């Protein structure tokens, strides 16, 4: 088929008439398909059901060092869990604190703490006239929601195929001491599914921020979430790189098992420098006497070691890989050659990014919803929910079953074609 921008008014009218008839037939089916969030499906959750059996009332809940996991103590987590998460995060266990079930909660707590008490003795952010955060865009809506909640001004930074535009990042942090941090999803990013290049990671490690309390919030949520055994992205370890660059304290690195075991009952962790560790522990001891050590032990006994976790993640990949491939195949079949949008084909993570023609994303998402397919709101991948081009849409393939996903994507591509044809038709008629 001819690309939409090359079609005449008459050709676009014919195309639009056929697409609208097809849409009416789809609407009549009464679909109710939800692909708005990146959630594991039931089959993925079932993979971890064995965790419910590794501990029972007869189990020895004592750690190797004699810690009784039923009792108080071990503020930074049991050693076995720090070792397991250390291998997962590629960090020394002594540089890790184990928290509760959610890394997002740890990020929120971290912003809250520096807001009221500052970073390593620096002025609390709440006492400053203005605080800014860099936000690579498109990016993760829940990151943006945290900084918006605290009234922190968000500054968008364009993403490139190799990560954030580092020329812009370097210039901004060097010249503006009100910039206190940057959000990063460095591997299989949300929503693009790209991973930062070696050069990008090294440039991050060598930043020269004007603010002494500037921190990189390195959310490595998808570090083990590969789709393929032999095609995987590799990420340089940021803490080691910062140490080599003479900036050992610049990074807070977050991770969790939320999409590895049970999202509501995983374990979260932060890895950081000894100085930052001391800063974290100084407030943590006022907040808790220790997080859920029984759950930490449950994870350790279930996986055994990092090799058990790697094998477990292969099973996840076997479940979700066909879904990613189905999305990409449908986009290719229905939209290739039409010049109505572009999309990513990631090797891991939880999302595929679609970019429509400018000014079309909200209409596409709204039209899909009317046909029974709920997607992430258009604009969610930008601070304040305002995508200046109204073009970015996040596709979350993991939760629906494969047959529902295929149906949902057929509806989605139909909506893309309708909205794109209408836009181009209106532009051609206006120019006539």
Model confidence pLDDT, tens digit, residues 95-144: 999 999 999 999 999 999 999 999 999 999 999 999 999 999 999 999 99
Q: What pLDDT sits at residue 432?
A: 78
Rounded mean pLDDT of 407-423?
98
Q: Which of 395, 429, 432 minimizes the C-alpha distance to 33?
A: 395
Q: Which of 246, 249, 190 minimizes the C-alpha distance to 219?
A: 190
* 74: confidence class by pLDDT, cuts 50, 70, 90: very high
Q: What pLDDT sits at residue 315?
A: 98
Give Cα separations from 352 to 156, 162, 191, 342, 344 (angstroms).
20, 16, 6, 11, 6
User: Is the pLDDT assigned to residue 235 strictly greater than 90?
Assistant: yes
Give me 190's structure tokens: 């949300």
Signed CA dihedral, 240, 241, 245, 251: sign only:
negative
Q: Please tell me the distance from the alpha carbon of residue 28 to that of residue 371, in angstroms, as a whole number.
A: 8
Q: Above pLDDT 90, what percent of the chain? A: 98
Residue 369 burial (C-beta neighbours within 10 Å; 0-12, 13-18, 19+):
middle
Q: What pLDDT sits at residue 1?
A: 82
Are the C-beta atoms of residues 284 and 109 closer than 8 Å to each other?
A: no
Q: Please tell me the distance from the alpha carbon of residue 282 to that of residue 286, in angstroms, as a whole number.
A: 8
DSSP bridge partners of 356: 341
Rounded mean pLDDT of 288-302?
97
Give Cα separations from 331 to 128, 336, 355, 396, 428 (angstroms).
48, 7, 12, 14, 25
Rounded mean pLDDT of 220-237?
97
Summarize pLDDT for 81-96 with one digit per residue, the tens.
Answer: 999 999 999 999 999 9
Give Cα separations from 89 to 79, 93, 361 (angstroms).
15, 9, 36
Q: Which of 23, 141, 54 minimizes the C-alpha distance to 416?
A: 23
Summarize pLDDT for 145-188 with one digit per residue, the tens.
Answer: 999 999 999 999 999 999 999 999 999 999 999 999 999 999 99
Q: Please tell me the distance from the alpha carbon of residue 389 to that of residue 18, in angstroms, as a whole number.
A: 28
Q: What pLDDT sits at residue 18?
A: 97
SS3 state at 32: coil
Q: What pLDDT sits at residue 241?
A: 98
Which domains, and CATH codes, for the chain?
Answer: 4-44+310-431 (3.90.1150.10), 63-304 (3.40.640.10)
When the pLDDT of each residue in the chain is averaged and rounded to a whole number, the result is 97
User: Is the pLDDT assigned to residue 271 strictly greater than 90?
Assistant: yes
Torsion of CA 65, 71, 76, 77, to 10 degrees: 60
Q: Please tell me the distance from the alpha carbon of residue 90 to that of residue 378, in angstroms, as a whole number.
A: 35
Complete DSSP assignment for 36-66: -S----HHHHHTTGGGGTS--TTS--B-TTS
Tell me which DSSP letter residue 185 carries: -
Q: Please tell me the distance from the alpha carbon of residue 333 to that of residue 312, in angstroms, as a whole number.
A: 32
Complete DSSP assignment for 60-104: --B-TTS-BTTSS--TT--HHHHHHHHHHHTS-GGGEEE-SS-HH
Give me 220's structure tokens: 């490595």
């Amino acid at each position: 088929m001819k690309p939409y921008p090359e079609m005449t008014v008459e050709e676009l009218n014919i195309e639009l008439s056929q697409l609208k008839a097809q849409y009416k037939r789809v609407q009549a089916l009464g679909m109710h398909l939800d692909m708005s969030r990146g959630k594991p499906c039931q089959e993925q959750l079932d993979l971890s059901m064995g965790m419910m059996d590794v501990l029972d009332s007869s189990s020895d809940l004592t750690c190797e060092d004699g810690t009784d996991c039923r009792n108080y103590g071990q503020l930074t987590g049991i050693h076995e869990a720090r070792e397991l998460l250390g291998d997962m995060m590629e960090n020394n266990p002594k540089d890790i604190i184990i928290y509760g079930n959610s890394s997002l909660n740890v990020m929120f707590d971290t912003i809250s703490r520096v807001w009221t008490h500052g970073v390593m003795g620096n002025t609390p952010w709440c006492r400053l006239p203005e605080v800014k955060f860099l936000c690579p865009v498109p990016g993760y809506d829940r990151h943006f929601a945290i900084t918006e909640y605290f009234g922190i001004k968000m500054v968008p930074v364009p993403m490139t195929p190799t990560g954030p535009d580092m020329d812009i990042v370097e210039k901004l942090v060097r010249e503006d001491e009100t910039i206190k941090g940057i959000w990063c999803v460095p591997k299989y990013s949300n929503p693009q599914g790209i991973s930062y290049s070696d050069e990008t990671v090294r440039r991050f490690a060598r930043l020269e921020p004007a603010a002494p309390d500037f921190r990189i919030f390195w959310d490595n949520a998808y570090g083990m979430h590969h789709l393929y055994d032999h095609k995987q992205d590799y990420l340089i370890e940021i803490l080691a790189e910062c140490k080599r660059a003479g900036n050992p304290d610049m990074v807070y690195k977050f991770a969790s098992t939320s999409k590895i075991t049970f999202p509501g009952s995983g374990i979260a962790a932060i890895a950081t420098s000894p100085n930052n560790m001391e800063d974290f522990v100084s407030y943590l001891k006022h907040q808790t006497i220790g997080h859920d050590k029984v759950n930490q032990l449950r994870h350790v006994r279930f996986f055994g070691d990092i090799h058990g976790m790697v094998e477990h993640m292969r099973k996840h990949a076997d479940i979700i890989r066909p879904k990613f491939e189905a999305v990409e195949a449908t986009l290719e079949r229905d939209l290739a050659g039409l010049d109505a949008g572009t999309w990513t084909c990631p090797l891991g993570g939880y999302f595929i990014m679609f970019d429509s023609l400018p000014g079309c994303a909200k209409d596409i998402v709204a039209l899909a919803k009317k046909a029974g397919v709920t997607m992430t709101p258009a604009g969610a991948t930008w601070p304040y929910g305002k995508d200046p081009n109204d073009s970015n849409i996040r596709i979350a393939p993991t939760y629906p079953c494969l047959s529902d996903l295929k149906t949902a994507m057929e509806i989605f591509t139909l909506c893309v074609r309708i909205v794109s044809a209408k836009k181009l038709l209106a532009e051609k008629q206006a120019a006539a």
